[in-house]
Amino acid sequence: MRVSILSLTAFAVAIEAQELYLTTTGYAARPQCTKQSTPKYHFQPFSYTLNETVRYATSVPSPTTTRTYAPAYTDIAKHLTTTWSTSTWGSWVPEQTVISATDTDDPYGQAAWSSMWLQADLEDYTTTGLFSTTVSSTPVPSSELVLPPRDYFGPTDCYNFPKDFVFGVAGSAAQIEGAVALEGRSPSLLEKLAPGNKPKDYVTNENYFLYKQDIQRLAAMGVEYYSFTIPWTRILPFALPGTPVNQQAIDHYDDLITAVLDAGMTPVVTMLHFDSPLMFRASENYTIRPDIGYINAGYQNETFVDAFVNYGKVLLAHYADRVPIWVTFNEPLLYAFNFKGVDHVVKAHAQVYHFYHEELKAKGRIGIKFNDNFGVPKDPKNASHVLAADRFQEMQLGFFANPIFLGKQYPKSVLKTLPGAKPLNDSELAYIKGTSDFFGIDPYTATVVSPADEGIEACASNKSTSNSLFPYCVNQETKNVYGWNIGYRSQSYVYITPTHFREYLFYLWNTFRHPILVSEFGFPVHAEASRDLSDQLFDSPRSVYYLSFMSEILKSIYEDGVHVMGALAWSFVDNWEFGDYSQQFGIQAVNRTTQERSYKKSFFDLVDFVKSRQPKKA
Ligand SMILES: *[C@@H]1O[C@H](CO)[C@@H](O)[C@H](O)[C@H]1NC(C)=O
Ligand SMILES: *[C@@H]1O[C@H](CO)[C@@H](O)[C@H](O)[C@H]1NC(C)=O
Ligand SMILES: *[C@@H]1O[C@H](CO)[C@@H](O)[C@H](O)[C@H]1NC(C)=O
Ligand SMILES: *[C@@H]1O[C@H](CO)[C@@H](O)[C@H](O)[C@H]1NC(C)=O
Ligand SMILES: *[C@@H]1O[C@H](CO)[C@@H](O)[C@H](O)[C@H]1NC(C)=O
Ligand SMILES: *[C@@H]1O[C@H](CO)[C@@H](O)[C@H](O)[C@H]1NC(C)=O
Ligand SMILES: *[C@@H]1O[C@H](CO)[C@@H](O)[C@H](O)[C@H]1NC(C)=O
């Protein structure tokens, strides 16, 4: 509705403007430009006037108080029915002692742990990075904090962010940590994901050792929230309930959270970001389909729900006192996509939510975050295209969000299409309803959607595996109805689509009726990785992406009445993009030889945009 009102207004303005710009109706009218002037050429003395005042990024202030959101672990442990034993394991270094460990009778001993790595059978596994212990942080020199020249065009809004707006940056463990087989971590699906010669996640950014400096660099830029993820395979190497908790991992993330708080920032923690334990895999086959993601990646395993809930409880019991915002699952669709997988995610998520608010009586917020590149109808005036877009949203989002946010049944399209789909019963719906305090969404871009050529019905009833559009049964494109790209293209699937983003926020808020956390958004600039460092750092397309999206968030809040709770930029640093380093989503670059980080221009531009729109002091 909002869109049609806007286009009517534009039409009226175009008619008014016709007298001034008479030749064509095609180019944009400029109703504000009523005065025409005539040039008056003249001579004047010349001087260089383009000197600028140098500006520096300002660090977040040091913390003065520590807020707590739940009782501390020692208090919680007393009244929980679950207790956890702890242990430590070594590091898996091929052909060294831990492999020949002698505690073969212990199901969770060193030998059992090592055998998981042997079974994982990694090609070319190496632990070789630059670091093997935690590196302490040093202050960021002010020379690195000078703001870059501004781009010529920029946002022209006059809005400020609400005072409780969560602004920050995000990253995920497997994409930055490295040290995958060190200090007790067991193999995750991601170590098996990148076959052949593709880069592995074994070393990446060595953030497992460099987290203190990485946090320091964010604080120096003035970033308030740092969103990171904790790997299940570090906390519980044997994954399942009743198996021992890895004390080294508990200590590591304890220290990381302390480092975030000491730097004056606030942590946001995601429990599962694609790195589920390898033992849940249903098969050797990790089929990758761009629209569906990684099939057979374990969420459908019968042991998954109880195991995830146990893991979630371990994290919350240890860290909920200091972490105010929690996410259970990152983009579960990409890993869960069959009926059972999603059903498991919905049920596991709900249990963790109830534990957080009812057993821990914690006072922060806990939710879930989804992927869905907003499906926009190719021809919005064609009812069948609108139905196709609705179906796309239902299968990617409504599937999870109907029960979790509204207590509503799985969508009919899902129940009718997916093999093995079963409705939730009333007591399940009542238990699942309202189990997310916010709607997390990673709205990188938009996708142009129209019905499958044979029609949705015919496609949906043809469950043949060679039917490549099944189960969505819609065409997905990146061009609009007139054949233009939907926006400026990145290195990968992301196009700059800020106006679709605003429409999307409108859709999400009015459909699922919960505050929206834009939990990831970002732009891998085309061919950035092949450019000289100084050219990589001057990343104007990424600035355009971020500032336009942030500007649309403000309009969404103030003009559409949409509650956007916050926005977390992806990613705080270039990282391992699941077998690829050429898609650089970072707002900092990394030298892969020295592990040196450099701020990109877009990082300054984004922070400057937010800082210059702080709430007015009352
Ligand atoms: C730029 O240089 C001129 C001449 O030295 C000086 O008057 C002016 O204050 C400078 N402007 C800024 C912003 O530094
Ligand atoms: C399910 O996970 C368990 C580990 O909990 C594993 O032993 C089993 O093989 C998995 N099942 C399938 C079908 O992969
Ligand atoms: C894995 O894929 C291969 C080739 O498509 C197939 O032959 C095999 O049956 C699959 N294995 C499983 C367990 O699905
Ligand atoms: C609407 O879209 C369908 C499917 O793409 C197409 O067959 C039909 O001709 C379109 N109708 C109109 C009025 O454009
Ligand atoms: C709903 O399903 C659950 C299993 O998930 C079962 O325990 C319960 O008895 C069912 N309730 C009703 C009312 O059918
Ligand atoms: C099902 O889809 C496949 C692959 O697109 C196609 O070859 C086959 O003819 C379809 N079957 C029916 C009954 O439409
Ligand atoms: C990484 O750093 C090394 C050492 O300073 C330098 O020689 C190299 O050119 C850098 N690599 C890139 C891609 O900038």
Ligand nearest to the CA of 286: 3
Tens digits of residue pLDDT in 480-534: 999 999 999 999 999 999 999 999 999 999 999 999 999 999 999 999 999 999 9
d(CA 260, CA 169): 12
State the CB neighbour count (10 A cutoff) for residue 288. Answer: 12
Asked if the structure places residue 465 within a domain, the reply is no
Tens digits of residue pLDDT in 150-178: 999 999 999 999 999 999 999 999 999 99
Bridge partners of 70? none
Tens digits of residue pLDDT in 544-572: 999 999 999 999 999 999 999 999 999 99
Which ligand 7 atom sits closest to the C-alpha of 591?
1
Pocket test for ligand 4, best of 378, 379, 386, 449 (most atoms within 8 A of CB): 379
Tens digits of residue pLDDT in 83-120: 899 999 988 887 666 667 889 899 999 999 999 998 88
Residue 459 pLDDT greater than 70, yes or no: yes
Give the residue, 193 or 236, on which the prediction is more confident: 236
Determine if ligand 7 sits within 6 Å of the CB of residue 591: yes
d(CA 164, CA 112): 47
DSSP per residue over 94-141, as a string? TTSGGGG-S-TT-TTSHHHHHHHHHHH--TT-----S-SSPPPP-PPP
Annotated catalytic residue 331:
yes
Q: What residue's CA is closest to ligand 6, atom 3?
A: 467
Determine if ligand 7 sits within 6 Å of the CB of residue 594: yes
pLDDT-based confidence at residue 196 (cuts at 50, 70, 90): low
Interval between CA 236 and ligand 2 midpoint (Å) = 16
Asked if the structure places residue 98 within a domain, the reply is yes
Range of the domain at 575: 2-7+67-452+479-611
- The Cβ-side half-sphere exposure at 365, using a 13 Å CA radius, reads 19
Interval between CA 301 and ligand 2 midpoint (Å) = 6
Asked if the structure places residue 147 within a domain, the reply is yes
Interval between CA 304 and ligand 2 midpoint (Å) = 9
The structural domain count of the chain equals 1
Residue 474 pLDDT greater than 50, yes or no: yes
Helices and strands of the chain, counted as H and E runs: 20, 17
Domain with residue 74: its CATH number is 3.20.20.80
Interval between CA 284 and ligand 3 midpoint (Å) = 7
Distances (CA, A) of 186 to 103, 315, 378, 380: 17, 17, 45, 49
Query: What are the structure tokens assigned to 614, written together?
Result: 């702080």
Interval between CA 207 and ligand 3 midpoint (Å) = 36
Residue 414 pLDDT greater than 90, yes or no: yes
Q: What residue's CA is closest to ligand 2, atom 12?
A: 282
Ligand nearest to the CA of 584: 7
Asked if the structure places residue 16 within a domain, the reply is no
Interval between CA 384 and ligand 4 midpoint (Å) = 7
Q: Which residues line the pocket of ligand 4, CB cutoff 6 A? A: 382, 384-385, 450-451
pLDDT-based confidence at residue 286 (cuts at 50, 70, 90): low
Tens digits of residue pLDDT in 329-364: 999 887 666 888 899 999 999 999 999 999 999 999
Q: What residue's CA is closest to ligand 5, atom 4?
A: 428
Structure confidence at residue 21 (pLDDT): 40
Q: Which of 201, 314, 219 is nearest to 265 (CA)?
A: 219
User: Which of the residues 177, 191, 331, 503 is marked catalytic?
Assistant: 331
Q: What residue's CA is closest to ligand 1, atom 1?
A: 51
Query: What are the structure tokens assigned to 528, written together?
Result: 């950035």
Determine if ligand 5 sits within 6 Å of the CB of residue 422: no
Ligand nearest to the CA of 279: 2
Pocket test for ligand 6, best of 457, 466, 473 (most atoms within 8 A of CB): 466
Asked if the structure places residue 36 within a domain, the reply is no
Q: What residue's CA is closest to ligand 6, atom 10?
A: 462
Asked if the structure places residue 500 within a domain, the reply is yes
Q: Which helix (H) or strand (E) holds 393?
A: helix 383-393
Q: What residue's CA is closest to ligand 6, atom 2?
A: 467
Tens digits of residue pLDDT in 42-77: 999 999 888 778 999 999 999 988 899 999 999 988
Torsion, CA 337, CA 343, CA 345, CA 346, rounded to 10 = 130
Bridge partners of 170? 227, 570
Asked if the structure places residue 39 within a domain, the reply is no
Q: What residue's CA is closest to ligand 3, atom 14?
A: 283
Torsion, CA 120, CA 122, CA 125, CA 129, rounded to 10 = -60
Determine if ligand 2 sits within 6 Å of the CB of residue 481: no
Asked if the structure places residue 518 within a domain, the reply is yes
d(CA 294, CA 338): 11
Q: Which of 82, 89, 88, 108 is nearest to 310 (CA)?
A: 82
Query: What are the structure tokens assigned to 3, written together?
Result: 């869109």
Helix axes 498-512, 540-560, angle to 10 degrees: 40
CA 603 to the chain's CA centroid: 17
Ligand nearest to the CA of 242: 2
pTM above 0.85, yes or no: yes
